[in-house]
């Protein structure tokens, strides 16, 4: 297969982790007889530096002409980076919101899976004397809600006042619910819909549409849960969840929480999908400016995102499995980037510390 992939290396650790993922995809292409053409585009801070805007129309056109987008991460340290002196709609993150909108990416899939090899890194206590073991996926609505509603800051009766607006229509809710139920059918057949229906009108509509969709999927178990309870249940008993579906802001927060219980945010991939097979694949974490340029970042989240790219955008199940097996194999062999090293010195002695590039090379070598 000839694959055209738009590649956004981005800022901070973005270029390091994207290089590692590209090496793994190269190994896949070699082994299975595919060809990959990368179309590199700038987004985020590096695009501001070059073009004065976080995303150009040309970059969007290039992305649209490809079968998928592989992305590192964008953004800098807001406390020191000059990018954050710019108005909000000109900052690096505006590029991300714009590309999601331009590409019609409304479903963000974030799996949170605890690799057995990393069970000791899970901050949750063992359960009944056994290491924790969970495998859930958060399906986050990506183009509506509070992040996209009208916002303003004004002075009302002499008091500085800010307003954000959360808007959802039934069509937006229906399509994300459909995505969640379809995914659940291929997994353990359980959907948990998360809202704040005791307070918000958007959540009450969310719940009504969710119930209607659930009726179309009698083979899938369905439940509603309030977002505050969900946050608690994720650290109490993550094993109870299979597919969690929720709106934009709740999904943003819950997916970071879910990522940390897997041991490191550096392990978690994500896919943003629209209609059809097109998707944007990126790690769940940010650009980690604190460790950028040191070759110590964990590239596994980006490598697992590349596996999702193979599976969802190009239908290459066998190749995606090969990437995931290779990741599992390096972990079994004790290779660990700095974020994965156990705190216990005795446990740490059993591991082999590796750099970002070495981790990428080792995974590629195991394909
Ligand atoms: P972050 O995820 O970049 O970093 C949080 C912490 O996790 C840091 O200590 C960092 O060193 C560590 N970390 C993150 N990824 C890691 C990896 N692969 N390996 C090892 N350690 C890792 O979050 P932040 O510090 O809140 O944000 C930094 C910048 O990233 C900001 O500009 C933010 O807007 C941006 N951001 C971008 C995206 C994206 O590109 N999709 C997502 C979130 C944040």
Write the pLDDT tens digit of every residue in 130-163.
878 899 999 999 999 998 899 999 999 999 999 9
312 included as an active-site residue? no
CA of 122 to the centre of ligand 1 (A): 19
Every domain of the chain and the residues it spans: 1-109+265-367, 123-261
Give me the chain's average pLDDT, please: 95
Report whether CATH 3.40.718.10 matches the domain 123-261.
Answer: yes
How far, rounded to the nearest angstrom, does the alpha carbon of residue 99 sit from its chain's CA centroid?
15
The per-residue b/e assignment along 190-227, b for 16 or more CB within 10 angstroms, e otherwise, is bbbbbbbbeebebbebbbebbeebbeebeebebebbbb
* pLDDT at position 128: 78
Q: Using one digit for the tens of pLDDT, what is the confidence trace for 107-130?
A: 999 999 988 888 877 778 777 778
Set 11, 195, 242, 252: catalytic member: 252
Does 96 sit in the ligand 1 pocket, CB within 6 Å? yes
Distance CA 113, CA 124 (A): 14
Q: Which of 45, 57, 147 is nearest to 86 (CA)?
A: 45
Pocket test for ligand 1, best of 285, 302, 359 (most atoms within 8 A of CB): 285
Among 14-18, 94-98, 305-309, which stretch is predicted with the lowest mean pLDDT? 94-98
Domains 1-109+265-367 and 123-261 share a fold: yes
pTM for the model? 0.91
Give me the residues paired with residue 222 across strands.
Answer: 191
Structure tokens at 101: 């909108």
| Beta carbons within 10 angstroms of residue 348's beta carbon | 12
d(CA 262, CA 167): 32
Q: Whose structure tokens read 């974490």?
A: 285
Among protein residues, the one whose CA lies closest to atom 12 of ligand 1: 288
pLDDT at residue 126, rounded to an integer: 79
- Residue 238 in contact with ligand 1 by CB distance below 6 A: no
CA distance 145 to 229: 20
pLDDT in tens, 212-258: 999 999 999 999 999 999 999 999 999 999 999 999 999 999 998 99
* Residue of 288, 298, 355 best suited for mutating to test ligand 1, as the one with most atoms within 8 Å of CB: 288
Is pLDDT of 308 > 90? yes
Question: Side-chain half-sphere of 342: how many Cα atoms within 13 Å?
Answer: 17
Higher pLDDT among residues 46 and 118, named by residue: 46
Does the CB atom of residue 282 touch ligand 1 within 6 A?
yes
What residues form DSSP beta bridges with 281? Answer: 70, 271
Q: What percent of the chain has pLDDT over 90?
A: 85
* CB-based contacts of 37, cutoff 8 Å, min separation 6: 2, 3, 4, 5
> Which stretches does DSSP call E strand in the chain?
2-10, 35-40, 68-73, 107-113, 135-141, 151-156, 159-164, 190-195, 221-226, 243-246, 269-273, 279-283, 335-336, 352-353
CATH hierarchy code of domain 1-109+265-367:
3.40.718.10
Q: Which of 64, 178, 189, 196 is catalytic?
A: 196
Helix (H) or strand (E) holding 21: helix 14-32
Ligand 1 in reach of 74 Cβ (< 6 A): yes
């Amino acid at each position: 297969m000839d694959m055209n992939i738009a590649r956004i290396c981005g800022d901070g650790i973005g270029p390091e982790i994207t290089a590692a993922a590209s090496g793994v995809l190269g190994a896949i292409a070699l082994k299975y007889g595919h060809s990959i053409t990368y179309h590199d585009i700038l987004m985020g801070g590096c695009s501001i530096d070059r073009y004065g805007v976080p995303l150009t129309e040309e970059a969007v056109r290039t992305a649209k002409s490809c079968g998928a987008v592989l992305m590192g991460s964008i953004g800098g340290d807001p406390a020191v980076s000059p990018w954050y002196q710019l108005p909000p709609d000109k900052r690096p993150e505006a590029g991300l919101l714009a590309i999601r909108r331009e590409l019609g990416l409304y479903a963000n899939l974030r799996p949170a899976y605890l690799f057995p090899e990393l069970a000791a890194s899970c901050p949750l206590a063992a359960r009944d004397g056994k290491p924790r073991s969970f495998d859930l996926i958060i399906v986050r609505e990506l183009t509506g809600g509070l992040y996209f509603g009208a916002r303003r800051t004004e002075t009302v009766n002499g008091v500085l006042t800010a307003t954000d607006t959360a808007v959802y229509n039934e069509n937006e809710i229906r399509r994300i619910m459909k995505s969640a139920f379809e995914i659940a059918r291929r997994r353990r057949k359980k959907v948990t819909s998360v809202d704040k229906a005791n307070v918000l009108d958007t959540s009450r509509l969310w719940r009504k549409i969710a119930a209607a969709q659930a009726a179309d999927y009698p083979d899938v178990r369905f439940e509603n849960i309030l977002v505050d309870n969900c946050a608690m249940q994720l650290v109490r008993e993550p094993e109870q969840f299979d597919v969690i579906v929720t709106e934009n802001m709740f999904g943003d927060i819950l997916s970071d929480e879910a990522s940390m219980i897997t041991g490191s945010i550096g392990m978690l991939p994500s896919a943003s999908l629209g209609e059809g097979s097109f998707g944007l694949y990126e790690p769940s974490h940010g650009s980690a400016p604190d460790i950028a340029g040191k070759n110590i970042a964990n590239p596994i989240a980006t490598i697992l995102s590349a596996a999702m790219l193979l599976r969802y955008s190009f239908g290459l199940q066998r190749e995606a499995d090969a990437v995931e097996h290779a990741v599992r194999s390096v972990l079994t062999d004790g290779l660990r980037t700095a974020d994965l090293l156990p705190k216990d010195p005795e446990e740490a002695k059993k591991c082999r510390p590796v750099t970002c590039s070495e981790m990428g090379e080792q995974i590629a070598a195991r394909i």
